[in-house]
Structure formats: C-alpha cells, structure tokens
Structure 1
Amino acid sequence: MSPDGMLSIGELAERAGVTVKTVRFYSDRGLLPEAARSAGGHRRYGPEALDRLRLIRSLRTLDLPVGDIDRVLDPEDVWQEDAWEDVIAGQVKQLDSQLAALRWRQAALHLLREGTAEERADRLRLIGAFLDGALPPDTAAPARFWRRVLPVRLPARQVSWILDAAVPQPPEDPTPAQVLAFARLHALVTMPCPPGHDWRPPAPERDPEYRPAVLYDGLGEAYELVVPALRTGRAPHEGEALDCFVSAYAHAHGARDTPGFRHRLSVTLDRSAHPVMDRYWRLADELAAPHAPTLGAAHDWLRAALDTELDDGGGADHP
C-alpha cells in the first residue's frame, strides 16, 4: 500500500485473490468505485475497496448475477432491502426449478438402466417424445386433450376446475415408475386417431334437454363427497355421494331420479366407458400425490356404488 493508504489495481487484485481483469470489470460496471486516479491515470482504490471486493466475490460465489448485485448494493455498501428480497426469491425459485429438473433427469436415467434392451429402447422413445428438452415436463398436452374432449361452451369456471383436477402435475421428486407413467400419458393424449376410429370419449347424446353445465356442477359436488371414502378405502355404497351423482345426470337431462332412471344410467355409463379414458385415469393414479384421489377414481367408485345398489335391489326409495 502506498504512503497515502491507496491501493493500485494490481495490489487490490493480489490482496483479494482475483485477477486485475476482474477488478477492472467490476470497476467498469460501477460495482467497485475508484477513489482516485494517479498522475499517470492509473486507478487507485481506498482500503474499503478490499472489503467491498470480497463482498462482491461472496455474492458471486452464490451465483448472483452482476446485475442483481448492482441492484442490491449501493456505492456506500448500503443494502437495498426490497431489491434484496426480490433477488433472493428469484434465485431460490430458479434453484428449485433446476433441482426439479435434476430429479427428473435422475429418475429417467434410473428407468433407462432397468429392463431389457427392447424395453429401454421403447422407454427412451417415450421419454424423448414427452420431455422434448424440457425438465420437468409441462402439462400442455394433457390440458389440450381435455379441452378437446369436454363439451363445447362449458363455462370458463367449469373448464378451469376440471383442468385443475384432471391434469396431473409432474411430481417434484418422481420415481422411475412415475417418469414412465407421465411419458405414457403424454403418448396417450397426443397419439393420432386411427383412420375410421375415434378413440376420444363419445360425444354427449343428442338430447334437447341435455345441459352439460348442470351435469359438471353436480359431478364436481359428488366427487368431493366421495373423497373421504376413497381416502379410507371404504367400499362403494349408497348414500349422499351416490344420490348427488345420479341427481347430476338426472337434472342435466331434465329427468327425475327414479329406479328406472338409475337402471338406464347404469347401462349408459357401462356403454360409454372408453379404453382411452380408462387408461388415462390409471396413469393419472400413478402420478397422483398420496391420499389425493383422482376424478377417475371418484367416478369409478360412484359407478360401482350405483351397480352395487342395483344388484342389491336398492333405489326403490327414490321418487
């Protein structure tokens, strides 16, 4: 250090353990203010520059971008608290995304390590198709699938809750089996329709009384009522949830809930079962969080409850 207590750029770099180029870069960005210039025009720094340079290095060690450091630290080393909170929140969010991507990559690699050569080739094809460079995968394809199969002109609020409930979210820490399930679900909802066939769920019957908005409102309520039974593993049975389920179909078609209607509904539901939707819900079950029944599980439980009631000769008490 010179007699006046000032440091040359080389002395500052040496004491901080960085290169002269690094000091010059931070100086040019305004992160490391110069105290003065020598007679020959060389940069001179005060003793406080060493502490500031070490602080900047610590922040850079945490991978904070230089632009963010400039936002949170003013020339007098005063922290800008609001900016600091925003910067840290953004960094944490970015790290969460990176960690999720690494967990998906790890699970996918474990999946590919298992099985025969033929199975690995098939799995790699599936994974490559649904990841497409994005980790974790997004849910755009299943969402498009549901928008395609739902009745037209449903209220936006109904479409929203159905998408929220029906589209499985990628697990943050997936197992290899869940990676495979998500890949298969993606393949299912994006596969082309074979010529002369329609793998989509059948369109609503042509009934002038049919009101799909009424149906989906009622189904949403019935599905909520059946969740406790699904979580406890209780067998399908008659009761409030089943009555709400049948009532949704009856009101949607301008009909009354009678024993005859329940018989016809059971037949209709059996006939409208579709292998694509059945497979969709099996895969969605594999991706669901623990104790979080899917809409498919709720629908199957209620269908089974209706069949059980009819097999036992029930339903006669409904008007």
Structure 2
Amino acid sequence: MSSDGLWSIGELAERAGVTVKTVRFYSDRGLLPEAGRSSGGHRRYGPEALDRLRLIRSLRALDLPVPEVERVLERDEALEEVVSGQLREVSSQLAALRWREASLRLVQDCAAGERAERLRLVGAVAMPPDTAALARFWRRTLPVRLPARTVSAVLDSVVPRPPREPSPAQVLAFARLHELVTDPRLDRPEFRPAPPLPDGEYRPTVLYEGLAEAYALAASSTAVSAEALDCFAAAYAKALGSRDTPAFRRRLLGLLARNDGPVIRRYWKLATGLFAPDEPVLGALHHHLSVALYAQVEARAV
C-alpha cells in the first residue's frame, strides 16, 4: 500500500486472491471503483474496491452471469429478482438431468432388442418434456364452441404434468403418449377421436360443466355413489335437452361406447401413471362412472 493508503492493481488482486487479469476485466467493465491514478497513470484502489471485488466473487461463485452481477451492483433490490431467476433456471436444469438419468436407465435396463425403439421414443421428446403436443391433441378433440375458461379447466385435468423425478417407466409412458398424440394418422377421419356426443346435437358447455361436477363427486369416495352417477347421467341429459329417465340411460350407454375409442383408451392407459398419486385421473373416473351406469341399467333390465 502506498503512502496515500491506496493499492495498485496487483496489490488489490493479491488481497482479493484473484489474478490481475480478473481485476482489470471488472475494472474495464466499470464494476470496480477507482480511487485515483498514480503519477504514471496507473489505477489505484481503496478498501471499497476490495469489498466490491469480494461481492463480485461471491455472486460469480453462485454462477451468476456477469450481466446479472452488473444488475445487482447497480441496484441492490435486483438481488432478489436475479436470485429467483437463477433458482428457476437451476430447477429446470435439475429436472432435465433427472429426465436424462431416467432415460438412460430406461435404455440400459431393457433387452437389447428393445433399445432401438426406446432410443427413438426418448429421442423425440425434450428433456424435461413439455406438454404442448398433449394440449394440442385435446384442443383438436374438444368442441370448438367451448368457452376458453372451460377449455383451460379441461386441459388442466386431462394433461398430466411431467414428474420432476420420473422413473424409467414414466419416461417410457410419456414418450409413448407423445408419440400417440403426434401420430399423423390422427388427421384421418377413421383415427380421429370421436366427440363426446354427436356433433351439433348438444350443448357442450353444459356437458363439460356437468361432467366436472360428476367427476369431483366420484373422486371424493372410493366407490361410485348414487349422487355421482345421477350427476353423470344428468350432465348428458341436460346437454342433449332430454330428461334423465331409465330409457335415456340405456341410450346413453350406446353414446358412451361410441366415444370410448382406441385412441382415447390408449391415451388414458399411458397417462394414468404420470399423474400425482393424490391427483384425480379423469379417464379412470369416467370409466368407473360408465361401468356403474352399465351395471345399473343391466340390473333394471332384469
């Protein structure tokens, strides 16, 4: 330290435990305050530069990019915002690593004859995967007349969120689900999922709102209650402008069988294991209600 209490760039670097090149880099970016210049024009630094350099090192140790460090140094309140952003990025990176690990185990643990197919499946999905393709599938399946709020509620219920810590089996299920909903054959009429009721013959908003209530009732108990079954049948009756009678319920069985096509059955078979354990699976609830309706109709016919 010179007689004026200031340090040269080399002395500052030594005190901070960094290289002269590092000090010069941050100085050139304006991040280190200079206390003055020597008679020869060399930079001189005071204790505040050492404090600032230590703060920069701490922020960089958290892997904050230099532009983000600059934001924090310019504005103290930016620290919380920058850290929150970095936490989101780290969380996304961890999720990607977990999916990558599970994907590698999926390929490692299968029979040699299955590896080519599994590599093809997992290679078609991002890590971590997004659900855009699944949402597009349902948007094409849902009636065009549904209000946006109803569409949003349906998508929240039928599109599983990718598990943050997937098992190899879940990676395989999601990859196969992605393959199913992106199959170009779905554009052909014979492969396109059928609407829940004949198009143009019902009020879709009434149907989907009524079904949401029926599913909620069915999810609240282990067995299908009479209340849930009545709500289920009434949703279809109201949507069609009909009365919920025994004759209507028998007709409804035919409508439900028409809607339960192979694509939707395959979707729910693959998607079920991707929902959280405490999350209701609408495909399973719909199946239980349909089975209960069939049993009721057949019992009345005896």
SS at match of 1:313: helix
The answer to whether 1:256 aligns with 2:237 is: no
Which amino acid in structure 2 is aligned with residue 27 of structure 1?
S
Percent of pairs with identical residues: 63
The answer to whether 1:107 aligns with 2:102 is: yes
Following the alignment from structure 2 to structure 1, what is the Cα–Cα distance between the partners of residues 57 and 36? 22
The answer to whether 1:311 aligns with 2:298 is: yes
Following the alignment from structure 1 to structure 2, what is the Cα–Cα distance between the partners of residues 163 and 55? 46
Which amino acid in structure 2 is aligned with residue 305 of structure 1?
A
Which deviates more, 247-256 or 264-273? 264-273
The answer to whether 1:176 aligns with 2:168 is: yes
Q: CA deviation at 1:209?
A: 4.6
Following the alignment from structure 1 to structure 2, what is the Cα–Cα distance between the partners of residues 97 and 39? 52
Q: Deviations over 1:132-170 (max 9, x none)?
A: xxx211111001101111112211111111111111111
Following the alignment from structure 1 to structure 2, what is the Cα–Cα distance between the partners of residues 273 and 285? 16
**TM-score, normalised to structure 2's length?**
0.94
Does structure 2 retain, via aligned residues, the 8 Å contact 1:114–1:120? no
**TM-score, normalised to structure 1's length?**
0.89
Following the alignment from structure 1 to structure 2, what is the Cα–Cα distance between the partners of residues 247 and 160? 23
Cα 1:13–1:264 change in 2 (3 A) is same
Cα 1:183–1:197 change in 2 (3 A) is same
**Which ranges in structure 1 are unaligned for 5 or more consecutive residues?**
none
SS at match of 2:220: helix
Q: CA deviation at 1:272?
A: 2.6
* Residues 10-29 of structure 1: pairs in structure 2 closer than 5 A: 10-29=10-29
Structure 1 equivalent of residue 181 of structure 2: 189
The answer to whether 1:275 aligns with 2:262 is: yes
SS at match of 2:44: strand
Q: CA deviation at 1:66?
A: 2.1
Which deviates more, 61-70 or 116-125? 61-70
SS at match of 1:289: coil
* Residues 1-319 of structure 1: pairs in structure 2 closer than 5 A: 1-74=1-74, 80=76, 82-131=77-126, 135-193=127-185, 198-203=190-195, 206=198, 209-229=201-221, 234-236=222-224, 238-313=225-300
SS at match of 1:312: helix
Q: Deviations over 1:89-111 (max 9, x none)?
A: 11111111111111111111111
Cα 1:99–1:206 change in 2 (3 A) is closer
Does structure 1 retain, via aligned residues, the 8 Å contact 2:195–2:259? no
Q: Deviations over 1:39-89 (max 9, x none)?
A: 111111113322321221111111122222222235xxxx71x31211111
Which amino acid in structure 2 is aligned with residue 169 of structure 1?
R
Which amino acid in structure 2 is aligned with residue 115 of structure 1?
C
Q: CA deviation at 1:215?
A: 0.9
Does structure 2 retain, via aligned residues, the 8 Å contact 1:207–1:253? no
Following the alignment from structure 2 to structure 1, what is the Cα–Cα distance between the partners of residues 281 and 72? 45
Does structure 2 retain, via aligned residues, the 8 Å contact 1:218–1:248? yes
Following the alignment from structure 2 to structure 1, what is the Cα–Cα distance between the partners of residues 52 and 108? 49
Which amino acid in structure 1 is aligned with residue 30 of structure 2?
G
**Which ranges in structure 2 are unaligned for 5 or more consecutive residues?**
none
Cα 1:252–1:282 change in 2 (3 A) is same
Cα 1:21–1:240 change in 2 (3 A) is same
Does structure 1 retain, via aligned residues, the 8 Å contact 2:197–2:255? no
Following the alignment from structure 2 to structure 1, what is the Cα–Cα distance between the partners of residues 168 and 33? 52
